[in-house]
Structure formats: structure tokens, C-alpha cells
Amino acid sequence: MKGFKEFLMRGNLIDLAVAFILGASFNTVVTAFTKIIMDLIGLIGGQPDFNQVTIGSVNVGQFLTALVSFVIMAAVLYFGVVRPYQFVKEKLTKPAEPAGPSTDELLTQIRDLLAKN
């Protein structure tokens, strides 16, 4: 029972559960925004519903509608989450300090100074 308790209280499991719950709730936000974009496209060029498109006797319209929704959702996530996150991450990380001379270089400098004296 102790091992099971440790497994449940492990930080990674809690972090994963929180991420899963936030991801599920974020899905509704992205889906709603995607619907807004689809509605705007509908205002400009007619309703973007490809459900009736067929190739021969195969209905590919539902796939095309899902594909357009996926591309819009991916764009929303990239430009609304990933890019701002990368921008903030770059601003918050400090550039690496230039490396000093190596041990061999320091010893060479000491040798040269001693040789001059």
C-alpha cells in the first residue's frame, strides 16, 4: 500500500493530471475560436461546409471539413500559444556568459609571465 501511495503522490503524476485537465478545457476554447474563424470564412465566401463533396461515389466532404477545421485549429494554437510562449521564453532566458580561458590557456599565460620575470 505504501508503494501505491508514493506512486499517486509522485509529482509527475500530479503534473500530468493537471495538464490533461487543462488540455481538455483548453480544447473547448480552441474549438469555439475555430468556429468563429469558420463563421467569418462563411461570411466572406459562403458557408465552409464540404460535407456534400464526393469523388465518384465516395463522400470525402466530411474529411475535407475536418481537415480545414484542423488546419485552423493548428494555426490558432501555433500563433496564439506556441509563438507567444517562445517569445516570452527567449526574453526571460539570459544569454550564456562568454566562456573564460581554458585551464591550458591560463597555465600558458602564467608560464609566459614567469618567463618574463
Quick: pLDDT tens for 48-102: 677 788 888 888 888 888 888 888 888 888 888 889 988 988 888 877 677 788 8
**What is the model's pLDDT at position 82?**
87
> Using CA atoms, how far apart are residues 106 and 117, in angstroms rounded to an integer?
17
pLDDT attached to residue 56: 87
Cell 480544447 belongs to which residue?
27
**What is the predicted pLDDT for the residue at 34?**
79
46 or 23, which is more confident: 23
- DSSP lists the bridge partners of residue 55 as 58
pLDDT of residue 115: 92
CA angle 84, 23, 35 (to 5 degrees): 75
The sign of the torsion formed by the CA atoms of 24, 75, 90, 29 equals negative
Average pLDDT of the chain to the nearest whole number: 82
Q: What is the pLDDT of residue 111?
A: 92
pLDDT score at 11? 65
What is the arithmetic mean of pLDDT over 24-33?
84
Domain ranges for the chain, please list them.
Answer: 2-95
Written in H, E and C, the secondary structure of 48-108 is: CCCCCCEECCEECHHHHHHHHHHHHHHHHHHHHHHHHHHHHHHHHCCCCCCCCCCHHHHHH
